[in-house]
Structure 1
Amino acid sequence: MSGVSENIEGKLREALAPVHLEVVNESHMHNVPKGSQTHFKVVIVSDRFEGLSSVRRHQLVYGALKDELSRKPAQGGIHALAITSRTPSEWAESPEANTSPLCMGGNGK
């Protein structure tokens, strides 16, 4: 991992102390230039999510990544973010990430 992926991972580790974290660059699945780092999937498992709704969990992730989400992709920003957020017990019951939505603008190939 490098660049934007690395920033995402570092900020989420610092803010949410996850017991499991995956940051997947899915830009290649979208209509963007080759080598882009603009579309990501995050799978995050944290005790911090205990008792929180999905919306609140996602707000915590968005808060940790507010700089990347506010920047334009050409400036190291994130255009799209798919999030799977679970507690450790939820992850133990179902250790699978949600499927990212298909790109509406083509597949970039």
Structure 2
Amino acid sequence: MSTERMKLLESRLQPLAATYLEIIDESHLHAGHEGARGGASHFRLHIWTDQFDSLSTIARHRLVYDRVSDLMPFPIHALAIVAKPKP
């Protein structure tokens, strides 16, 4: 199930033209957590893209959340983001 969600997340982020993208499923770390009920996923995202140049951290996160907001809080309950401009 989470593999499908990871692929969905990756496809939603495709327009950001990431030079580096890593999606880590951390759902197992949240077993028993209220947000994990019903099978919601917890992910950590590392994303680097030129589109983050000159943006603040908050603006970078907003850009990511704008792409996936309809997936939250279900099927994705939590998304930890590390967003950087292309190195």
Quick check: TM above 0.5? yes
Residue of structure 1 equivalent to 2:79: 81
Map 1:11-26; keep pairs closer than 5 Å.
Answer: 11-13=12-14, 15-26=15-26
Residues 6-25 of structure 1: per-residue CA shift (max 9 Å, x gap): 10011111x20100000111
**Which TM-score applies when normalising by structure 2?**
0.84
Q: Determine if the alignment matches structure 1 residue 5 to structure 2 residue 6.
A: yes
- Distance, in Å, in 2 between the alignment partners of 1:41 and 1:9 is 12
- Report runs of 4+ in structure 1 exceeding 2 Å deviation: none
**Which TM-score applies when normalising by structure 1?**
0.68
| Residues 37, 5 of structure 1: alpha-carbon distance in 2 compared, 3 angstrom cutoff | farther
The structure richer in strand per residue is 2
Question: Which segments of 5 or more consecutive residues in structure 1 lack a partner in the other structure?
Answer: 90-109
Map 1:14-93; keep pairs closer than 5 Å.
Answer: 15-32=15-32, 36=39, 38-69=41-72, 71-72=73-74, 77-89=75-87
What amino acid does structure 2 have at the position aligned with 1:9? E
* Structure showing greater Rg: 1
Secondary structure of 1:40's match?
Answer: strand
- Distance, in Å, in 1 between the alignment partners of 2:40 and 2:12 is 16
CA RMSD after TM alignment: 1.7
Question: Which segments of 5 or more consecutive residues in structure 2 lack a partner in the other structure?
Answer: none
- Distance, in Å, in 2 between the alignment partners of 1:3 and 1:37 is 12
Q: Which of structures 1 and 2 has the larger relative contact order (alpha carbons within 8 angstroms, sep 6+)?
A: 2
| Identical counterparts, % of pairs | 36
The structure richer in helix per residue is 2
Instruction: Tell whether the 8 Å contact from 1:25 to 1:37 is kept in structure 2 after alignment.
Output: no
